[in-house]
């Protein structure tokens, strides 16, 4: 059954959601693949100390 799903997936037009780096989206767009880009960045710009504080503060 799993094999069938995977075969179907590869035989159908791709539906892609990309999170974060837009480079992956632009690469696929160049190959005429439609991509939904999700604007995402790591919390606090990736600063581990601020991210830890935010976690404790319930953000």
Partner 1 sequence: MRRIEDANAEALKRMLSADLVLVDVVPAAEAIPALKDRMILHAGPPVDWARMCGPMQGAVTGIAVFEGWASDLKEATKMAADGAFDFHPNHHFDAVGPMTGMTTVGQPLMVVENRAYGNRAYCAINEGLGKVMRFGGNDSEVLDRLRWLRDDFGPALGRALRHTGGIPLKSLVARGLTMGDEMHQRNVACSGLTLRTLAAPMVDTATDNKALSRALAFIGSNDQFFLNIAMAMGKAMMDPVRGIDGSSIVTAMCRNGTDFGIRVSGTGDTWFTAPVEMPEGLYFPGFSEADANPDMGDSTIVETIGLGGFAMGASPAVAGFVGAGAASEAGNFTRTMSEITIGENPEWTIPSMDYLGVPTGIDIRLVVETGLAPTINTGIAHKQPGIGQVGAGVVRAPMECFQQALVAFAKSVGVS
Three-class secondary structure of residue 38 per DSSP: strand
Number of residues near partner 1 (by CB under 8 A): 12
- In whole angstroms, the minimum distance from the beta carbon of 51 to partner 1 comes to 8
Strands (E), 1-59: 16-19, 35-38
Is the Cβ–Cβ distance between 18 and 36 less than 8 Å?
A: yes
- In whole angstroms, the minimum distance from the beta carbon of 54 to partner 1 comes to 5
21: contact with partner 1 by CB under 8 A: no
36: contact with partner 1 by CB under 8 A: no
- In whole angstroms, the minimum distance from the beta carbon of 36 to partner 1 comes to 16
Alpha-carbon gap, residue 24 to 14, rounded angstroms: 14
């Amino acid at each position: 059954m799993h094999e069938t799903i995977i075969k179907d997936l590869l035989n159908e037009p791709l539906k892609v959601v990309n999170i974060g780096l837009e480079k992956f989206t632009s690469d696929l767009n160049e190959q005429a693949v439609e991509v939904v880009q999700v604007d995402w960045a790591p919390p606090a710009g990736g600063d581990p100390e601020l991210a830890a504080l935010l976690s404790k503060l319930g953000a």
